[in-house]
Chains A and B, each alone.
Chain A
Amino acid sequence: KQEVTQIPAALSVPEGENLVLNCSFTDSAIYNLQWFRQDPGKGLTSLLLIQSSQREQTSGRLNASLDKSSGRSTLYIAASQPGDSATYLCAVNTGGFKTIFGAGTRLFVKA
């Protein structure tokens, strides 16, 4: 049974700091991995999607890496801003129609 774990559960950093969010999954047989952002009381915004054959994806200040063999993914946020404050969710697609989500990392960037 696929399980997705995100560490840390919460993170508070000063503005401008570079940070790394971690995601691990128990079954390496995945189709893709996706990082989402969720603002309080809102839906999900897709940030980056990495196919199982890829090692990383970049979008602006965000970089996501995938090491399928070790069951790990990281989301790197450069030069963090207060507007980056949100919950970040990691989700793994197991190749069928199921997407398994981690519990998320709540990020607070202090001005």
Chain B
Amino acid sequence: GAVVSQHPSRVICKSGTSVKIECRSLDFQATTMFWYRQFPKQSLMLMATSNEGSKATYEQGVEKDKFLINHASLTLSTLTVTSAHPEDSSFYICSARDPGTDPYEQYFGPGTRLTVT
């Protein structure tokens, strides 16, 4: 099946710094990728939809200037958490759709644990 990777798997950063998370589709081209965040014992909440070659679409309540998304190629999307604060500590998961499959099944990355100290 299709594989989506994320890097890094864990990151610890100091408050006020920025951190970048990469999401890659390894064996397919993903025109659309999605970024989710998950708080402990809660479900996944969609943050934004990342479209290759265009601006990301953010969900209501998500600060686009804080969570910068760049879908630079058909296999790579990045999420940059700018000026991170402890409340940004969370589990971030990306997913991608393989447009070559039916019925547009989503493939999820392994997630990135962000801890802001």
Which residues of A come within 8 Å of B, CB atoms? 31-32, 34, 36, 41-46, 49, 51, 89, 91, 93, 97-104, 106
Contact = CB atoms under 8 A, between A and B. Distances in A.
8 contacts: A31-B103, A43-B110, A43-B111, A44-B95, A93-B104, A97-B97, A99-B95, A103-B42
Contact of A34 (B6, B42, B46, B105): B105
Contacts, number: 56
Nearest to A36: B108
Judged by DSSP, the binding face of A is strand
Interface residues of B, number: 25
Given A97-B49, A101-B43, A102-B43, A42 B107 contact: no
B78 interface: no
Contacts of B42: 103
A49 B105 contact: yes
